Homo-oligomer: A and B are copies of this chain.
Amino acid sequence: MLNVAVFPNIDKENAPMVLKRIVDFYHDKDVKILMPMDGANFFDYGKYGVEDIENHPIDMALSIGGDGTLLGICRRLYERDIPVCGINIGTFGFLADIELPEIESKLEKIMQGQYYIEERMLVSGFVKSGEDDERFLGHAINDVVVTKSGAARMLHLGLMVDGCRVMDYKADGLIVSTATGSTAYSLSAGGPLINPKIKVLLLTPICPHTFNARPMVIDENDEVKINVAAFHQDIIVTFDGQETFKIKPGDTVIVRKAPLPAKIVKFDDKNYYQTIRTKLLYNA
């Protein structure tokens, strides 16, 4: 029996329809459906709801939403080594590989093992205050962003890479992005596109007032430390644009490659460059 965990985004208009098609598809198959309790109740599928879904046996996770939904599930299931498959009802869908018309045919392919796993690197973010030990904050597939909140003034940031002070920024913030995240916030801030099979980190300043600030592509194993000058208030660290933590003046944010990658289900070897062309460059 296959245990399939289904995670619908409750904000998406099409989610109930997609959810019904999934339930209908699996009803005569040797598949056990699980859903997070709140989502299950929200969509009147209480019988599939379980508490603490991340601790149940799961063979495959289905994301119903956009790439954002899928990112959240990957972070939630981190360390569980579970493949995540995205049904795209968002705008872009670089990661979510199933489009609406093909839900049943692709679910059938999953039943028959006709898919492959694409590993995407995650990064781990930590914060260190003074002489305290560093404290783990979270994981990200796209990016860890250090930025000011609201109306606060430009930050003074000191960047160390691989133990070496590289650059001092006066800026709204700094993005530490994976190659996967190069099509997300970093792109808006002027960063390059990076083929996600390349194992790197990308550092992109946000609105730097410093003229010599440039996006920088570094080795995936380089440790990144971002020190925030001690006189700032209202500094936040954000993971994939979804989880946010306040940090203190003078704190240092540390970002490293995470030990484990995310596992994204893909169906045919859709060329990355084809996706970039059709979903990003000529569809923006």
Contact = CB atoms under 8 A, between A and B. Distances in A.
A209 B188 contact: yes
A273 B164 contact: yes
Interface residues of A, number: 57
Contacts of A22: none
A214 interface: yes
Contacts of A207: 185, 188-189, 206-207
Q: How many copies does the complex hold?
A: 4
A81 interface: no
Contacts of A166: 273, 276-277, 281
A186 to B, nearest CB: 10
Nearest to A197: B219
Nearest to A200: B198
- Residue of A153, A185, A188 most packed against chain B (CB within 10 A): A188
A234 to B, nearest CB: 8
Contact of A193 (B185, B217, B236): B217
A193 B216 contact: yes
Interface in A211-258: 211-212, 214-219, 222, 236, 238, 241, 244
A277 B218 contact: no
Nearest to A206: B207
